[in-house]
Structure 1
Amino acid sequence: MTVEPFNAGEPAVVGGAVTLVEGSTFCLSDHTGDIDHGTAHGLFFRDARVLSRWQLRLDGHVPHALSVLHHEAFGARFVLRRPPTAGTADSTLLLVRERLLGDGLRETITLDNLGREATVARLDLHVDADFADLFAVKEGRAAHRGAEASASGSDLLFRDLGDGSRGVTVAATADPVVAPGVLSWRVVVPAGGRWSTEIVVQPSVANRPVQPRFHRGERMESSAPARKIQAWRAASTVVAAGDPVLTGVLRRSESDLGALQIQDQSGRPFVAAGAPWFMTLFGRDSLLTAWMALPLDVGLALGTLQTLAETQGRRVDPTTEEEPGRVLHELRLGPDSTDVLGGSHYYGTVDATPLFVMLLAEAWRWGADEEVVRSLLPAADAALTWVDRHGDRDGDGFVEYRRATDRGLLNQGWKDSFDGVNDADGRVAVPPIALCEVQGYVYAARLARAELAEAFGDPATAAAQRERAEKLRAAFAEAFWLPDRGWFAVALDARKARVDALTSNAAHCLWTGIATDEHAAQLVARLAEPDMDTGYGLRTLSSSMGAYNPMSYHNGSVWPHDTAIAVAGLLRYAHVPGAVELAHRLADGLLDAAAAFGGRLPELFCGFSRTDFSPPVPYPTSCSPQAWASAAPLLLVRSVLGLNPHVPQRRLALSPHVPSRWGDLALTDLRLGQATVHIRAHGDRAEVDGLPDGWTS
C-alpha cells in the first residue's frame, strides 16, 4: 500500500490540547503530557473531572517535548528530554510518559540515561482533583466542590468535598515520597541504564472504586481497551481505496468509532457523541453515527436503538422536556447533572425521535436480527405517536419545537446554538419552529414504518403510514419551497412564515427523499454555487446571508457529517443534472480537509473559501474525535457505491459513482445477515463476490 501523506498516529489536538479517549473516560493535556491547573485540561470520568492537575517536573523544570506518539485513541507516548544544562545544546536523559485510558488512567514514566556516566534525577508529580462537572469546565466556571487530599503509604487519596461520593486514588511504584498533592522520586540512573515507575489513577463513584480496564505491568496492546478495538476491527468490514488519503481516513474512522463506543449495563454498544465534551449517549448524534457506520457493523445500530428505547419518554415533565414516546437528547452523569438542562436525562430534541424509526428500518434492511427489530416496534410506534401528539404542536401536519422552560435548549434541531436558525436578513427565528430537515426525517420515518408493517403482516398500518407520508411530502413542497429563490426555507416560524435563509439543512431534504425532482434540480444548482461550496465542504449557511460568519458554530462553518449527508442526498438524486459532479466535488474537498487535519475530521471547521485559506482553518473548540465526523467518510463510501442492501428481500443494490481520484474502492467481508460478500468498484462499475444463491444484485 502507498505510504499515507499524513501521520495516522497523530493525536487529536483540541484548542491546543492533546485528547485521549476510551469509552466514558477522556483526558486533555498539553504536548508534554501535563494536565495544567486552571485550564480545561483534566482526566474526566462519567462527566466529572477526577484530575485537575497532573504536572511532571524533572529537576524542578518542565521537560522539553520532542514528540507525541499515538496509534490508538486511548493511549499515547509523550517523548521528552531533560532540559540541556547551561552552555550545552544537547541532553542525554530521555523521559517517556506512556499513558493508557480505560475507566481510569495508567502512566508509566521511564528515564533512559544515554550518557557515559550515571546521573541523578529528581521527579515530582504534582496532582490535584476538583471533581468539577464537565459543563463547569467547558464553560470556564469555577468548581464549587474541590477535593480533600491525603496521603496513605505510597498512595494519594482525593475525596469530593461536595457530597463525598466521588473520589480518586493515585498509586505508584518505585517507592515515591508521598505528600498531599505530590509524588516525588530521587533516583540515580546508571550510564546506559533505565529507571521507571508505574502510576495508576482509579476513580470511585458512589463510594465504590471503579475497576480499571487495564492491569499493572501489562503491555498496552494486551489491555482491555486494545482488545476491544481489536475485536471491533475483526468484526468490521475492511474498507480500502486506491487513494491513500481515503484509506488512511477510513482507518482512522474505524479506530475512533471503536474508541468512542460505550456499553450499557447489558453490554450493548452505542457511540458517545465526541471528545472532549460529549462523551455520553446523544440521541441524534448516536443514531446518525450508527446509520453511517452500518457498512462496518449493524450491531452498533441495534445497541443504540435498544439503549434509546429503554430511556424513551414515558411521562410529561417540562423540566426535562420528557414526553411519552420522545427519544432522549442526551444522558449526563456528572455531579451537576440535575442542574444542567433540567436533569441527567434531557429530551429537548426534535429530530432524534423520527431518526429512531428511520434507523430501525435501515438496520433491518442491513440484516439486523428480526426478533430484535420486532421487539423495538412498540418503541417505533410510540415515537410516531409522539410525532402526532406532541411533535405536531398545532395540528398542521408539521413537527415543531419550542422549549418547555427557560432552562432548555432554545433550538432543538441539529443546529442547536441560540442563533442557529435565522432568515436571509439574519433575524433569529421565533419559535415554535418547524425545520425543513425534520419534516424530511418524519417523511422517511413514516415510509420506514410502512415497510416494516408490510413485511410483518400489518398492511393497514403500512397503507396508513404511506398515505400520511405522501400527504406530508405534498404539504412540505407547498409550504417550504421558495420558488423565487430555488431552495427550501430552513424553517417555518411561529407565524408559519418561511424562514428564508439558504442553508445546508435543505440538502438533508435530498437525503430523505422528500424533495420532488423538480425542486431537487434547482436546489442542486444552488448548492453548487461558491457561496455554499467552500472547496472543503458545504457551508451551513450561505455566505450571502445576513447572519453569515465563517467562524461561527452553525452560521457558515463546515460540519463534515452535514456535508456527507449532502453527498448522500445528491447521489440519491444522481439522475438530476449536476448532482453527481457536485457530490464528487464535496466528497473530494472533505477528504482534502481530513488530510489537513492529520486524517481525522473534526466536528467542524471554519467556513472560509479554499481560495482564501488553505489548509482549512480549525474551529477553536471543535470536538475531535467526534462520532458523526468520524463516521462521515463511511457515508461517503456507501453513497458513491450506491450501496443499498435489503437482506430480508435477499437483494443487494449497487449504483456506483466512484470519484476518479479514489481509484479502486473495495469492501471486504461485508456482513449482510448470514451472508459475507466482497465488493470492488471503480468509476461506474462494480463487482460482487460471495453473494449467496437466490440473491439478486
Structure 2
Amino acid sequence: MRDRQAGRPPRQPWLHELSIVVNGNATALSDRSGDMESGTAHGWFVDDRRVLSRLVLEVDGERPSPVAGRASGATGAYSTSARSLGDAGADPTVQVVRERRLAPGSLHETVTVASSAACTVRCVLRLRFAGDGADIASVKSGHLDAPPLPARLDGDGVSWSDEWHRTTVTVDAAATSYDNDADGALVDVPVVVEPGAATSVTLVVRVERVQPSAFDADPGADAVDWSRVRVVADDPRLGPTLQQSLADLQHLLLHDPAAPEDVFLAAGTPWYLTLFGRDSLWAARLTLPLGTDVALGTLRTLARRQGRTHDPVTGEAPGKIPHELRRHVYLDTTTGMALPQVYYGTVDATALWVSVLAEAVDWGLDPAHVHELTPALRAAVGWLTGDGQPDEDGLLKYLDTTGAGLANQGWKDSGDSIRWRDGHVADAPIALVEAQAYAVAALDGAARLYGLLGIDGADTLVTQADRLRGRLRDRFWVDTDAGHHLAIALDGAGHAVDGLASNMGHVLGTGSLRADEAALVAATVTGDELLDEFGVRTFGTGNGGFNPIGYHTGSIWTHDTAIVAVNLARDGFVDHAVRVARSLLASSDAFGRRWPELYSGVAFAGAPTPYPASCRPQAWSAASAIALLTVALGLRPDATTRTLHLRPARAFGALRVEGLQFAGGRVDLQVGPGGEVTVLRAPDGVRVEVDVTPGS
C-alpha cells in the first residue's frame, strides 16, 4: 500500500510498530510478519541507502498470517501460519518461521516450513524482492515511492546497482525460476514437508560498495565482549532489560574508518546510524561501568574530526567537537534542512568530550591514552573558553547563521523546544542552562587532568569554572507560578527563559550549584509537573504549549530520565534518584524491554504511549539500563586510588551484578535487601568502600 494519497504532502513515516534489527552500518525494517513492503519505510538500509526496499513471502500464492515477532540486536524472528495448508479445521497445522540475521555486508533470511499435519505438505515459496537505492533522508522526509532499480537475472541469482552499492540476492535451494515483474524480482522454491518434519530455505542478500562515501564505517560488534555482564534482581524486569540493551548496544557499534581499532556507538536506527558527538559521548559515558574501550574509541574518533578552522557553513571552529558525521550531504526536503557531511552544530559536545575523558580516567583509562589525547584536550578547553563564549557575558551560546542548519543546538534540538512559561518560543542566540553546567564540569575535569598530566594552567581552569558557575547561579534562577526554579535558557536579549523543563536535571551532578540550590532542583525535577509514573517529562505540564507527545515539549526521553536519576544520586539525593529510576524501569516492558528514543507518559491501558516516529534502538536509550545499575549501586569510581565507592540505593531490591570493569579488572557484587554488599570478585589492590545510607 502506498504511503500517501494524491495531493497530500509527504509525512515522516512512523516506526513504533515495525520490527527493527541493526548491525553497525546496516538496519532492516519490516512489519511484524517480516515482510518489507514497497511504498513504506521498510527495507534494508546500508550506509544510509536502501539497498533492499521489498522482501515479501508468499506460500502457495498467499501471505502467511502473522502470529508473533521479536527483534534483538542483529537478529529478528517472525512466526506466521499458513492457514491454507495442512489439515482442515480451526487449528493451524503448518507454521512458517522466518529468521533474519544481519552480518557485515549481508542479510540472511531463513524460511522454515514446519508441519504438524497428518499428510505430506507440498507448496511453493515465492519470495519477491527489489531495491530502490533511496537515501535515508528522503525516506525520513516521507518520500517512499522510489521505483525499483532494474534487476539483472542470471543463473546464480538476481542483482541490481545504485550509485553507491551493488546488491545480489541468492537462494540456497533449487529454484524453479527467477523472474522479473513490475515490482521487482521474484523466485519460486518448491517445498515438500512430511508429517512432523520441517524444511528450510535460506535467502542471502549481499551488498558491496562500488564507490566510497565520506564516512564508510563498518560494523563493530566484534570489538566488545559483554557476555560476562549479568544482573539478577528482586525486580524481575531489570536483568532482561539490561540484556536486551546490551545486545542492541553491541550492534550499534561502528569502527572508525580512519582507525578501525577504535569503535563508537552510532546514535540510533534508522535515522541516526552514524557518529553523533553528543549522543555517542553520552552513550559511551553511561557504559563506563562496563569498561573504557567504547569511551576511548569515541574520544579518539571525535578528536580526529575536531575543528581546526572557522567555517560558518559547517559551524566548525578550532577545538570544537562535531555534532554529526554523515556519509552523504543530509537534505530534508520537507523542512529544507541541509547538513554537510561533517557538521559542528552543537553547543555541548565539546564539554561532554572533556567530561567523558575525565570520567574514563576515574574508571581506569590507561594514562598513556590520556597523554595521547592531550592536544585534543587543550583544543577543547580553548573552544570552551574562547569561541564557545561569543559574547562578553562569558556564556556558551549558539546561533545558526546559515538558515539551513539546526536552529537549536543542545540535545533538545527541535525548532520549538526552548519555550517560555507561557509557551512562546525563545529568540536566538540561546544560552542553555545545561550547556553552562556541562562546561563547568568540563573545566573542573580538565583542571584535574592537567594536574595529573603535569600541564600548566590547572589553576586558571579552576578560576574559569568558578566564574561560569557564578554566572549560571546569578542569571538562570526565575520565579514563576511553579516556584523558584532554574530557567531553561537565556534568550538573545539575555532574559531568562522561564519555561519549566527537564534541562535543570542535567545541572545536578556537575558541581554548578550550592547544596541548597541542588536540593531545590531535586525537588522540582521530581515534582508533579515534571515526573510522572514513566519518567521525567521534557516540559512541565503547567507550561503553555505542553504536549505529552511533543518531541521536546512534554514527551519523555529515556536517556534524559536516566541522566536525571544518575545526577540525583551523584548529588546525594538517593530517594529522589530511586523514584526516577523506578519510573523509567516501569516503562520497559511496554516496549519489549527495548527503550525507544522517546515516548509519552500518558498511560494507555496502563502503559506509556509510543511516540510513533521514535527511533529504536537508540544508543543512549539502551545505555540507560546501565545507568539504572549506576543508581542502584551508587557507583563512584576513583581509579587513581584504586577505590570503588558504593552507596546502594535499594532501588530494585537485592541484586547480583557480574561483569563490571574497574581499574583494568572485573568486579562482581552481591547487594542484600538491606543494602549490605558482598564483593565476589575484584582486581588485586582494589578496595570497594560502601556507604550504606537509609532510604528506599
The reply to whether TM is greater than 0.5 is: yes
Distance 1:435 1:688 in 2: 42
For 2:609, what is the secondary structure of its paired residue?
A: coil
1:270-313 deviations in Å (ceiling 9; x for gaps): 11111222111111111001111111121111011111111112
The alignment status of 1:428 with 2:392, answered yes or no, reads no
Q: Which residue is 2:650 aligned to? A: 658
The aligned counterpart of 1:152 is 154
Superposed, 1:272-671 pairs within 5 Å as 272-334=266-328, 341-458=338-455, 460-483=456-479, 485-574=483-572, 579-608=573-602, 614-659=606-651, 662-671=652-661
* SS of equivalent to 2:438: helix
Asked if the contact 1:320/1:341 (under 8 Å) is kept, the reply is no
* Contact 1:120–1:186 (CA under 8 A) maintained in structure 2: no
Q: Measure the CA separation in 1 of the matches of 2:671 and 2:172.
A: 54
- Return the alpha-carbon distance in structure 1 between the equivalents of residues 526 and 202 of structure 2: 55
Letter in 2 for 1:233: W
Compared with structure 1, are the counterparts of its residues 495 and 375 closer, same or farther at alpha carbon in structure 2 (3 Å cutoff)? same
Letter in structure 1 aligned against 2:26: T
Whether contact under 8 Å (1:549, 1:555) holds in the other structure is yes
1:622–1:381 distance in 2 versus 1, CA, 3 Å = same
1:233 corresponding residue in structure 2 = 226
Aligned-residue offset at 1:358: 0.3
Give the aligned residue type for 2:93: T
Structure 2 residue matching 1:249: 3-state secondary structure: helix
* CA deviation profile, 1:566-604 (whole Å, cap 9, x unmatched): 112222232xxxx33322211111111112222222211
**Matching residue of 2:18:** 17
One-letter code aligned to 1:412: Q
SS in 2 for 1:524: helix
Q: CA deviation at 1:524?
A: 2.2
- Residue identity in the other structure for 2:449: L
- Provide the secondary structure at the position in 1 that maps to 2:424: coil
Which residue is 1:8 aligned to? none
Counterpart-to-counterpart distance in 2, 1:666 and 1:385: 44
- 2:280 is paired with a residue whose SS is helix
Take 1:28 and 1:321, find their aligned partners in 2: how far apart are those partners? 33
Q: SS in structure 2 opposite 1:617?
A: strand
2:16–2:610: 8 Å Cα contact kept in structure 1? no
CA positional deviation for 1:491: 0.3
Higher helix share: 1
Give the superposition deviation at 1:143.
6.5
Aligned-partner Cα distance in 2 for 1:607–1:16:
18
Q: Runs in 1 of length 4+ with deviation above 6 angstroms? A: 337-340
Letter in 2 for 1:172: V
Quick one: structure 1 residues 98 and 142, their matched pair in 2 at CA, closer, same or farther if it must change by over 3 Å?
A: closer
Between stretches 350-359 and 187-196, larger displacement belongs to 187-196
Letter in 2 for 1:405: T
> 2:251 is aligned with what amino acid?
A
Can you list the C-alpha shifts for 1:112-148, whole angstroms capped at 9, x where unaligned?
Answer: 3433333331222111111111111111125668522
1:694 Cα deviation from its structure 2 partner: 7.2
Shift of 1:389: 2.6
Please give the secondary structure, in 2, of the residue aligned with 1:486.
strand
Residue in structure 2 matched with residue 678 of structure 1 by the alignment:
668
For residues 359 and 429 of structure 1, what CA distance do their matches in structure 2 show?
Answer: 30
Matched residue count: 657
1:242 deviates by: 2.5
Structure 1: 5+ residue runs without aligned partners? Answer: 1-12, 215-223
Give, in angstroms, the shift of residue 77 of structure 1: 2.3
Q: Residues 613 and 111 from structure 1, CA distance in 2 versus in 1: closer, same or farther, beyond 3 angstroms? A: closer
CA RMSD, Structure 1 to Structure 2 (Å): 2.5
Contact 1:122 1:184 survives alignment (8 Å): no
SS in 2 for 1:276: coil
Q: Map Cα deviations across residues 417-465 of structure 1 (whole Å, 9 max, x no partner).
A: 110111101111111100000000000000110001111112x311111
Deviation, structure 1 residue 190? 4.5
**Cα distance in 1 for residues equivalent to 2:33 and 2:136:** 23
Write the distance in 2 (CA, Å) between the matches of 1:412 and 1:196. Answer: 50
Deviations 1:6-36 (CA, angstroms, capped at 9, x unpaired): xxxxxxx942211111111111001111101
The aligned counterpart of 1:81 is: 81
| Residues 184/588 of structure 1: CA separation in 2 closer, same or farther (3 Å cut) | same
- Amino acid in structure 2 at the alignment position of 1:174: A
Aligned to 2:165: 166
Cα drift, residue 657 of structure 1 = 2.1
Contact 2:329/2:340, CA 8 A, preserved across alignment:
no
What CA distance in whole angstroms lies between the structure 1 residues aligned with 2:659 and 2:189? 54
In structure 2, the CA distance between the partners of 1:599 and 1:338, relative to structure 1 (3 Å rule), is: closer
Paired position in structure 2 for 1:183: 186
Identity over aligned pairs, percent: 37
- Please name the residue that 2:208 is paired with: 204
Q: Which moved more, 1:366-375 or 1:316-325?
A: 316-325
Counterpart contact for 1:132–1:143, Cα < 8 Å: no
Taking the aligned partners of 1:257 and 1:515, their CA distance within structure 2 comes to 33
> Residue 171 of structure 2 aligns to which amino acid in structure 1?
A
Query: Quick check: 1:104 aligned with 2:94?
Result: no
- Note if contact 1:511-1:565 (Cα within 8 Å) is conserved in structure 2: no
Counterpart residue number, 2:261: 267
Could you report, residue by residue, the CA deviation over 1:40-81 in whole angstroms, capped at 9, with x for unpaired residues?
1110111111111111111211111222255x4211222222
Cα distance between partner residues in 2 of 1:635 and 1:679: 16
Residue 84 of structure 2 aligns with an amino acid whose one-letter code is: P
The amino acid across from 1:680 in the alignment is Q
Look up the equivalent residue of 2:83 and give its one-letter code.
P
Letter of the aligned partner of 1:272 in structure 2?
A
1:204 partner SS: strand
Aligned mates of 2:152, 2:281 — CA distance in 1: 44
In the TM superposition, residue 372 of structure 1 has moved relative to its aligned partner by 1.0
- Preserved contact between residue 355 and residue 441 of structure 2 (Cα < 8 Å): yes
Corresponding residue number in structure 2 for 1:221: none
Question: One-letter code of the match for 1:283?
Answer: G
SS where residue 599 of structure 2 aligns? Answer: coil
Q: SS of the residue aligned with 1:232?
A: coil
- The answer (yes or no) to whether the contact 1:366–1:647 under 8 Å persists in 2 is yes
Q: In structure 2, list runs of 5 or more residues that go unmatched.
A: 1-13, 690-696
Helix, strand or coil: the match of 2:112?
Answer: strand
C-alpha change, 1:165 and 1:271, in structure 2 (3 Å) is: closer
Deviations 1:87-126 (A, max 9, x none): 7434433322221112320112222343333333122211
Counterpart position of 2:94: 93
Contact 1:155/1:169 (<8 A) preserved: yes
SS at match of 1:496: coil
In 2: Cα distance, 1:335 partner to 1:183 partner = 33
Q: Which residue of 2 aligns with 1:7?
A: none
3-state SS of 2:296 partner: helix
Structure with bigger strand share is 2
Separation (CA, whole Å) in 2 of partners of 1:651 and 1:190: 62
* Equivalent residue letter for 1:563: T
Q: Which one is further off, 187-196 or 446-455?
A: 187-196
Is 2:642–2:663's contact at 8 Å kept on the other side of the alignment?
no
Contact 1:287–1:304 (Cα < 8 Å) also in 2: yes
Kindly provide the amino acid, as one letter, of the partner of residue 246 in structure 1: L
1-side partners of 2:147 and 2:193: how far apart? 45
